[in-house]
Chain A
């Protein structure tokens, strides 16, 4: 699996998109699958940066690791955030689309999009590290 270290801030998104677009293009992944991979990776990365609570500082691991493996039929990728409190995106309430506009608040949409656009997602927490792995089937 290829991997890269991303700056643990929204500035890291630029590195993330460059890495993903480069490798998705090399493997001639179709545009819609590529969009979904980038979208899901962004939503997960952004949630880690915004919501994961750091357990300690000065560990020297002030980055998030993105791993990527592209096969003929599927794409697997994972994000690892180090030294954080446990957090599971799946515990976030789904967006209530039935609410009137004036009552709707931001939040939850990213998790909803993730759930809608992946074929499999798995959250693991071990020794202070949050690891999210995703499987996306390529369109034929």
Chain B
């Protein structure tokens, strides 16, 4: 199961498993992002290259205007995949509290 929603404070919240079959659903929200945004990973258990690609597209689109994407509450195993993909080098990322 995968869920994506925009919270009252404008954060994008991801939940469950962000696999290749979920990119169309995710892009309905991600494609509408036009300025700096925080993505909350606190309930995301899994991400693959397809999910990473969808998030990278947002980062790339915002870059020319000086806006940015920030990832917060990233769970340990998802953190490992994002850092393996070198996301930590160009996107601000904060681990989930239990990783501190």
- B77 close to chain A: CB less than 8 A: yes
The distance from the CB of A41 to the nearest CB of chain B, in whole angstroms, is: 10
Contacts of A13 in B (CB 8 A): 19-21
Q: When the two chains form their complex, are residues A42 and B85 in contact, meaning their CB atoms are under 8 A apart?
A: no
Work out how many contacts link A and B, with CB atoms closer than 8 A. Answer: 54
Q: Chain A binding site: helix, strand, loop or mixed by DSSP?
A: helix
1/0 contact string of B75-100 vs chain A (CB within 8 Å)? 00100010011100110000000000
The distance from the CB of A133 to the nearest CB of chain B, in whole angstroms, is: 20
Report the interface size for chain A: residues with CB under 8 A from the other chain.
24
The distance from the CB of B63 to the nearest CB of chain A, in whole angstroms, is: 6
Closest to A45 in B: B20
Closest to A39 in B: B48
The distance from the CB of A38 to the nearest CB of chain B, in whole angstroms, is: 7
Given A42-B19, A97-B86, answer yes or no on A109-B52 (Cβ-Cβ < 8 Å).
yes
Interface residues of B (CB under 8 A from A): 17, 19-21, 46, 48-50, 52-53, 56-57, 59-60, 63-64, 77, 81, 84-86, 89-90
